[in-house]
């Protein structure tokens, strides 16, 4: 997806996926792939994370990508992507590979749950445990501008 992020304390935009069996398997057993999460108070850092049984919430397995030269994800549009295969998930920002996740990255005994269909979500949350609450410096209204979302399948 090509997205221009909002910014400010307490702002939490995300482009992510959940396993389509969430109603029967429940979270985190259904699996979650955070293609990008951004904290408005850290406007130069994008986070890509996977969550599953035994590695969810604060224990999700993730990596940050940091823009160079004091750039911010709120200054212009950026492309956030994953290449997802049954045994590997690769995370990209602007065509730059910055993280790869495989079953071998999981805690011992944890289950890899990325071998079934998922659905896409885009959202802009305000507040929460991770970003904290907005304060007097946070400007409103906020917008997460989405130019496009594309899904490709290998032949």
Active site residues: 32, 37
Rounded CA-CA distance 37/137 in Å is: 21
CA distance 118 to 116: 7
Give CA torsion, residues 35, 41, 45, 50, to 10 deg. Answer: -30
Residue that the structure tokens 């992510």 belong to:
16
Comparing CA positions, the residue from 154, 155, 113 lying closest to residue 17 is: 113
């Amino acid at each position: 997806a090509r997205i221009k992020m909002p910014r400010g304390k307490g702002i939490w935009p995300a482009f992510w996926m959940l396993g389509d069996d969430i109603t029967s398997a429940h979270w985190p057993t259904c699996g979650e792939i955070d293609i990008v999460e951004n904290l408005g108070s850290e406007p130069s850092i994008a986070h890509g994370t996977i969550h599953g049984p035994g590695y969810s919430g604060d224990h999700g397995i993730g990596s940050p990508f940091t823009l160079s030269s004091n750039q911010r994800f709120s200054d212009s549009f950026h492309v956030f992507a994953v290449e997802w295969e049954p045994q590997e998930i690769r995370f990209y920002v602007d065509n730059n590979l910055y993280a790869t996740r495989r079953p071998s990255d999981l805690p011992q005994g944890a289950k890899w749950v990325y071998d079934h269909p998922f659905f896409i979500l885009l959202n802009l949350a305000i507040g929460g445990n991770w970003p904290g609450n907005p304060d007097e410096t946070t400007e409103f209204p906020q917008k997460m501008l989405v130019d496009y979302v594309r899904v490709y399948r290998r032949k």
